[in-house]
Amino acid sequence: MVFVNLFFLVCKMSKLGRGKCGPATFSKKDRDYTIEFNHDNQPIGKNAIDYTSWLGVKMKAEFSYHIPQDKFEEHKWEHLWKDIQELWKVNSIAPKQAALKNAKKRRTNWRSYLTTTYVRINKTPFKTHKNLQSQHWENFVAQRSSKEFMKKSEKATKSAKKNVFHTCLGRSGYAALEPLVPLIWSQLVPVYKHLKTIRDWRSKRWISARAKQNKKTKKYELAKDARIESIKLAKGGLFQGARQQSQTDVSTTQRLGVVCDYRGVGLSPSIRGASDVGGSHIHYPPIEELVECELLFPGPSIKEKVVGSGLVYPTMDRLLDEVQMEDGYVKAKVYIIDPKFENNPLPPVSCYDEVADLGDARGKYVQWPRFAIKVYFGFT
């Protein structure tokens, strides 16, 4: 069986100097391998970490590192899904796309690790990773040293550096964090008094994801940058213009004979504080049908900036590539991006594969912040 061979491989790797056998070995044959998934089809429960470890090892063992992601035939991914279903007792088809997306992400991270740790400093990984097939190394080095790849890599690096508010999440991401939020929050509030004004769960989760546990006190704390951002959240929004306009401030205009309502233009992203005193919830009118839209700058900006145009899908459409989208985002098909904005980064949740900047999004389906969509709503 594939599973048995894979587990022996992990044990063998550990004996060759890569540390002790981890959870991916699954030495107990009679153990329960059932995996649970949350509403976003992310693994949760007692087997979530084991499942994630197993998936990472399987990607290394059965998907050769030198082959680009898009070169694998579809049946390869179908076989992976069948293996997941068989070992982890998954009866529903619902988690399939999210599971395969996670697998591809882990493989992308593995190839990036090999590139950063070995290719860029002209070293080989075979002393440490003895299971790797050395005959493919030159091919891999050629791929990762090409001008085309270096250009994309440089762009992605610049985009990543702009994200200064990194999370402190493990391999299971937000799925593993959610049960811990009440505990983390209960430790943060007595220390950071301004957090008492925050009621919104999403804001609490955002802050909790950036809390670090002090090794001495075993209590969760916020670093300086995260503390500053949490204060902005408590005051009602991360960026300027965060307060909701009153109904008298909402402008209406006439375009092609249709009365239009510009609600939510230039407001802050979906992550915001909800306080009894200052903060406010922004409620955008629902998008009920596929409609043309203007795409506004998807980050902090004092002035409204139209960066492009495209189509926006109904608010109720919550799947992109059959994966659940983030709250506060909508599905958009990007047609045009103004050249002067094309090197600006997309929000992290909108990035995938080689799509990192606004220019990369041309012709693509992406998650776009709802606050940065200008839609014309007709009234009958």
* One-character DSSP codes across 159-220: HHHT--------TTHHHHHGGGHHHHHHHHTTTSGGGGG---HHHHHHHHTTEEE-TTT--E
Token pair, residue 16, equals 């060759």
Domain end position, chosen among 145, 165, 198: 145
Based on the domain organization, do 140 and 20 belong to the same domain? yes
pLDDT value of residue 10: 42
Q: Going residue by residue through the chain, which has 380 residues, state the pLDDT in tens, using 9 for 90 and above.
A: 444 444 444 444 333 344 434 434 454 556 788 898 887 788 888 898 899 999 999 999 999 999 999 899 999 999 999 999 999 999 899 899 889 988 998 999 999 999 999 999 999 999 999 889 999 999 999 999 999 999 888 877 776 666 666 777 776 777 778 788 899 999 999 999 999 888 877 788 888 988 999 999 999 999 888 888 888 777 764 433 333 333 333 333 333 233 333 333 333 333 333 332 233 345 567 788 888 899 998 876 667 789 999 999 998 888 887 677 887 889 999 999 998 998 888 887 787 767 888 988 988 899 998 888 988 654 32
pTM of the complete model: 0.53
pLDDT at residue number 83: 95
Identify the helix (H) or strand (E) that includes residue 61. Answer: helix 48-62
Confidence (pLDDT) at 38 = 82
7 with 120, same domain?
yes
Question: Do 362 and 262 sit in the same domain of this protein?
Answer: yes
pLDDT confidence of residue 5: 45
55/75 Cα distance (integer angstroms): 17
What SS3 state is found at 243?
coil
Is 153 within a domain? no
Q: Which residue has the tokens 């493989």?
A: 107
Regarding whether 322 and 198 lie in a shared domain, the answer is no
Does any domain span residue 202? yes
Instruction: Check residue 175 and give its pLDDT.
Output: 73
Q: How far is CA 56 from the centre of its chain?
A: 17
In a domain, 7, yes or no: yes
Assess if residue 362 is contained within a domain: yes
The residue among 199, 234, 269 that closes a domain is 234
Residues 6 and 54 placed together within one structural domain of the fold? yes
Does residue 191 fall inside a structural domain?
Answer: yes
CA–CA dist 278, 380 (Å, integer)? 35
Question: Has residue 159 been placed in a domain?
Answer: no
Beta bridge partners of 369: 329
123 and 213 together in one domain: no
Q: DSSP string spanning 72-94?
A: S-HHHHHHHHHHHHHHHT---ST
Q: Are residues 132 and 264 in the same domain?
A: no
Last residue of a domain, one of 126, 145, 164: 145
* CA dist., res. 97 & res. 54, Å (int): 18
Among 343, 358, 254, 378, smallest CA distance to 296 is for 358
Whether residue 137 is found in the same domain as residue 209: no
Q: How many domains does the chain have?
A: 3
Whether residue 136 is found in the same domain as residue 6: yes
Whether residue 239 is contained in a domain is answered as no
Do 230 and 253 share a structural domain?
Answer: no
On whether both 304 and 221 belong to a single domain, the answer is no
pLDDT for 249 equals: 34
Number of other residues whose CB lies within 10 A of the CB of residue 115? 17
Quick check: is 150 in a domain?
Answer: no
Query: Which SS3 state, helix, strand or coil, does residue 54 take?
Result: helix
Only one residue has tokens 């994801």, namely 209
pLDDT for residue 174: 74
**Residue 24 sits in the same domain as residue 124:** yes
Domain around 61: 2-145
